[in-house]
Amino acid sequence: MDVEQQKKATTQVFETVADGYDHPSLRFFPFCADFLLQHLKPHSHSKILDVATGTGMFATAAAVSIAPTGRVTGIDLSEAMLAQLHHKASRMRLQNIDTHVMDAEQLEFRNDYFDAVVCSYGLFFMPDMDKALKSWLRVTKPGGTVMFTSFGEDAFQPLMSLFSEQIEKFGVKMAYKPVQLLHNVDTCRNMLENAGAQNVDVTTRQFGYHLRSAEDWWDALWNSGTRGYLDSLSPTDLAAFRRTHLQAVGELATDKGIWLDIQTHITRGHKPGS
Ligand SMILES: C[S@@+](CC[C@H](N)C(=O)[O-])C[C@H]1O[C@@H](n2cnc3c(N)ncnc32)[C@H](O)[C@@H]1O
């Protein structure tokens, strides 16, 4: 698959899952967004860019915290994800948020514009992560902050290994590489430094919780990036895979439920200058 096809395929998955993306089984996305806001501590006049904003988990939280003087811009390749952000922003009567369909690897903003550029669980979807990070640094003001999150090695385990082993038996091979690359804290730090940031630090946090049942895990798979793999199965195989997989996942339940590990690395750096 070439780069443009890869981006189209990713966008298509998020167009499909947009309606269900804010599902409670995926509540680690807003948990992480709240943490990022505390970590960033934006001032009230900040201009913040949320890259790969999705349904605006971070963008809406940030817009509330810096209203009315600060402003948030969210960009994403998926119109359907941005439409969800718009519904949310209008329900919350937010007037300091705007959105654009835009590629995170090629930002169309002027140099040195934003006080902070944030990207939560988005960088590993980008075919050229170095190019993306350089583009984010370019639009950040000197002294401003660039921050991104990625999953740690323990995230989703042992559920995701079970998922990949079992779906492979149905002929579906998972493409893990960029997500795995960012499991490593040193890689995260080096990538941001190589893009031109200084004073880079990496913090690791757990945003996990217990799911009530294997069906909750299915909801998480169905409404997120893994949907692409499920949609590649025929209806008969999908039903058979669901049955086998949920049976195996159900066996992992304890009296608390099924642990969903969301070990997350938060990499933060600053653009040189005052
Ligand atoms: C897992 S979601 C994360 C959304 C949001 N940041 C959050 O934490 O809930 C990943 C998002 O990245 C977007 N995305 C993937 N590749 C992109 C690219 N090259 N440019 C812009 N957005 C992209 C997808 O459309 C999707 O909305």
Q: Report the separation in Å between the CA atom of 103 and the middle of ligand 1, taken as the mean of its atom positions.
A: 10
Query: Is the minimum distance from the CB of 109 to ligand 1 under 6 angstroms?
Result: no
Q: What is the CATH number of domain 3-152+177-209+265-270?
A: 3.40.50.150
Q: Report the separation in Å between the CA atom of 236 and the middle of ligand 1, taken as the mean of its atom positions.
A: 30
13-36 pLDDT per residue, tens: 999 999 999 999 999 999 999 999
Q: Report the separation in Å between the CA atom of 76 and the middle of ligand 1, taken as the mean of its atom positions.
A: 6
| Upstream peptide bond of 42 is cis (omega within 30 degrees of 0) | no
Return the biggest CA–CA distance within the chain. 60
Query: Which residue's CA lies nearest to atom 25 of ligand 1?
Result: 78
Query: Is the minimum distance from the CB of 40 to ligand 1 under 6 angstroms?
Result: no
pLDDT above 80: residue 274: no
196-228 pLDDT per residue, tens: 999 999 999 999 999 999 999 999 999 999 999
User: CA 176, CA 219: separation in Å to the nearest integer?
Assistant: 21
Amino acid letter for position 144:
G
Q: Report the separation in Å between the CA atom of 13 and the middle of ligand 1, taken as the mean of its atom positions.
A: 10
Phi, psi (degrees; rounded to nearest 5) at 257: 120, -150
**pTM for the whole structure:** 0.97
Helix (H, G, I), strand (E, B) or coil at 173: coil
Query: Is the minimum distance from the CB of 107 to ligand 1 under 6 angstroms?
Result: no
Query: Is the minimum distance from the CB of 215 to ligand 1 under 6 angstroms?
Result: no
pLDDT at 151: 96
What's the mean pLDDT in 182-186?
95
User: CA 40, CA 147: separation in Å to the nearest integer?
Assistant: 8
Sheet bearing 97-101, strands edge to edge: 97-101, 71-76, 47-51, 114-119, 140-151, 263-270, 198-206
In angstroms, how far is the first alpha carbon of the chain from the final one?
42
The beta strand positions in the chain, using DSSP E, are: 47-51, 71-76, 97-101, 114-119, 140-151, 198-206, 209-211, 258-260, 263-270
| Locus of tokens 């395929």 | 9
Query: Is the minimum distance from the CB of 74 to ligand 1 under 6 angstroms?
Result: no
Q: Are 42 and 67 in contact (CB under 8 A)?
A: no
Query: Is the minimum distance from the CB of 49 to ligand 1 under 6 angstroms?
Result: no
What's the mean pLDDT in 241-265?
97
Angle between helices 129-139 and 185-194 (to 10 degrees): 50
74-127 pLDDT per residue, tens: 999 999 999 999 999 999 999 999 999 999 999 999 999 999 999 999 999 999
pLDDT above 80: residue 176: no
